[in-house]
Amino acid sequence: MRLKLKEISYIQAEGFAGGELKHGTIALIEEGTPVVGLATQEKVNLSIRGNVKEVVARGAHPCIISMEGLEKEGDTYVIPHVHELLTPLVSVVTLQLISYYAALHRDLDVDKPRNLAKSVTVE
């Protein structure tokens, strides 16, 4: 998602594993910071929910994507329950749509991102 946000909406974004939040990344969170959280894996769901509470306490605005069976009240999007190996494929659709609508909200042409080549030329 971070790459798509950068490419089509020109928003500086970073992605990281939930366990990395307390290793410096939390210092970047301030009032109004948008945060997208994926709560789609049962084994890490509780720790992700804890991370969300921490960023909310610092004034962030979370967008939570969860999976059926793991959803909580207030989650922004709930994706269908699928086998854990398919979860990334289902999650990426929602993430791409967020990037798409962020670009449209900024009145940007998603079909013609600036300074982006369709192919790489090696000299």
Chain segment 1-27, per-residue pLDDT in tens: 778 888 888 888 888 888 888 888 889
pTM: 0.82
Cα separation, 41 vs 7, in Å, equals: 27
95, 13 Cβ separation under 8 angstroms? no
2-105 topology per CATH: Rossmann fold (3.40.50)
pLDDT single digits (tens) 37-90: 999 998 999 999 999 999 999 999 999 999 999 999 999 999 999 998 999 999
- Taking all residues of the chain, what is their mean pLDDT, rounded to a whole number? 90
Q: Are 40 and 65 in contact (CB under 8 A)?
A: yes
